[in-house]
Amino acid sequence: MDEQTRKKNIRRTALIVTAVALAFYIGFIMMGVMRS
């Protein structure tokens, strides 16, 4: 795998994982909003 592709993959994995973390954060606060 060339360096360019590796960097692209690294960026993509990091973005996906960050999105998952944000989804959990916002999702649980929204759950609180809907229940209160």
Partner 1 sequence: MTTAVVDGQAAEHDDHGPTKGIKRWLFSTNHKDIGTMYLIFSLLMFFTGGAMAMVIRSELAVPGLQFVHPEFFNSMTTMHALIMVFGAVMPAFVGLANWMIPLMIGAPDMALPRMNNWSFWILPVAFGILLSTLLMPGGAPAGGWTMYPPLILQTGDAFPFLIFSVHLMGISSIMGSINVIVTIINMRAPDMSLLKMPMFVWTWLITAYLLIAVMPVLAGAVTMLLTDQFFGTSFFLAAGGGDPVMFQHIFWFFGHPEVYIMILPAFGVVSEIIPTFSRKKLFGHDSMVYAASCIAFLSFIVWAHHMFTVGMPLTGQLFFMFATMLIAVPTGVKIFNWVATMWRGAMTFETPMLFSLAFVFLFTIGGFSGLMLAIQPADVQYHDTYFVVAHFHYVLVPGSVFAIMAGAYYWLPKWTGHMYNEKLGKLHFWTSTIFVNVTFFPQHFLGLAGMPRRIPDYSVQFADFNLISSIGAIGFGLSQLLFVLILVTAKRGEKATDRVWEGSHGLEWTVPSPAPWHTFTTPPKNRIADEAFD
The rounded distance, in Å, linking the Cα atoms of 27 and 33 is: 10
The rounded distance, in Å, linking the Cα atoms of 26 and 21 is: 9
Binding footprint of partner 1 on the chain (CB under 8 A)? 1, 6, 9-10, 13-14, 17-18, 20-22, 24-29, 31-33, 35-36
